[in-house]
């Protein structure tokens, strides 16, 4: 009985027999046989790959939203800044008009009232100072009147009235100079009266 690995190395027909056996074992090719895959993949060229340019990249890039500037409400310092701009219906520079109502005695009182009657509502700075100057003069007149009545009773009140007049006169001159230079002028004690005067005394319609 021949062994499993019994071969004759001297057999001259062995190579032909081996070829015949291999040809017999291979499955016959048919029209329905599967296609064979290529042994080597096709080379990928640079033209087949799309490359983004810098402009394409920027088009798809995310731009972070810019933070909004915080809202800054108007302050008394902004309200008091003066300029050389001429105000409508007067032809005078703004800096002169906002200082005029603070002049002492009856000058500022009359000037503040006239400005409230002719200056339009859009000129907020001029109207604010006109109303504040007028309110300051009204407050001074009220205190002066009270001291004058009391002075009829005692001479000490007359001295107080004189000192009060001197102090308020100096203060009004300082306010007028500050307003003319564009520095803040705010008289907190007459805020309510200032707002009331500015609201109630409007420009006269021509």
**Hey, how many other C-beta atoms are within 10 angstroms of the C-beta on 202?**
13
Average pLDDT per consecutive 10 residues, the chain (206 residues; last block may be shorter): 51 67 53 54 51 56 51 44 78 91 94 95 94 97 90 76 93 95 93 95 85
Spatial CB neighbours of 147, under 8 Å, sequence gap ≥ 6: 157, 158, 160, 161, 164
Look up residue 103 and give its two tokens: 């002049």
**What's residue 78's pLDDT?**
47
Q: Report the phi/psi class of residue 151: left, alpha or beta, with left for phi > 0 and alpha for psi in -120 to 50.
A: alpha
């Amino acid at each position: 009985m021949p062994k499993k690995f019994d071969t004759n190395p001297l057999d001259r027909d062995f190579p032909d027999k081996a070829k015949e056996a291999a040809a017999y074992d291979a499955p016959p090719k048919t029209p329905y046989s599967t296609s064979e895959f290529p042994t080597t993949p096709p080379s990928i060229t640079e033209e087949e790959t799309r490359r983004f340019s810098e402009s394409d990249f920027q088009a798809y890039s995310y731009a972070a939203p810019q933070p909004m500037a915080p809202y800054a409400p108007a302050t008394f310092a902004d309200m008091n800044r003066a300029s050389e701009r001429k105000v409508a219906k007067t032809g005078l520079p703004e800096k002169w008009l906002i200082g005029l109502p603070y002049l002492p005695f009856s000058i500022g009182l009359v000037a503040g009232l006239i400005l409230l009657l002719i200056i339009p509502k859009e000129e907020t700075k001029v109207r604010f100072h006109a109303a504040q100057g007028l309110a300051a003069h009204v407050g001074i007149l009220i205190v002066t009147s009270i001291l004058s009545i009391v002075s009829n009773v005692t001479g000490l009140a007359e001295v107080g009235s004189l000192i009060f007049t001197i102090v308020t006169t100096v203060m009004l001159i300082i306010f007028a100079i500050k307003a003319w230079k564009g520095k803040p002028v705010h008289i907190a004690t007459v805020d309510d009266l200032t707002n009331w005067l500015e609201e109630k005394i409007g420009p006269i319609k021509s």
